[in-house]
């Protein structure tokens, strides 16, 4: 069983890393990881929790 708190923490860390990244490739990688965590959160909660993906500028 996956720990939902861990997934939330990682998703938030990746979103913060997007804002801190200085290279477009790094931002894209963090965006992709955040989206994967968000998808996993949706999957294990059967869609009850849906986090809107948005890039930080």
Domain boundaries, the chain: 4-44
Q: Rounded to whole angstroms, what are the CA distances from 24 to 27, 30, 37, 38, 48?
A: 5, 10, 20, 21, 32
Tell whether the model's pLDDT for residue 1 goes beyond 80: no
Q: What is the pLDDT of residues 6-32, one digit of tens each?
A: 999 999 999 999 999 999 999 999 999
C-alpha torsion 28→31→33→35, nearest 10 = -140
Model's pTM, two decimal places? 0.82
Report whether 27 contacts 21 (CB < 8 A): yes
């Amino acid at each position: 069983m996956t720990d939902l708190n861990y997934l939330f923490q990682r998703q938030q860390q990746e979103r913060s890393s997007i804002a801190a990244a200085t290279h477009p490739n790094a931002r894209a990688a963090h965006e992709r990881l955040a989206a994967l965590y968000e998808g996993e959160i949706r999957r294990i909660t059967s869609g009850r929790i849906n986090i809107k993906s948005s890039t930080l500028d």
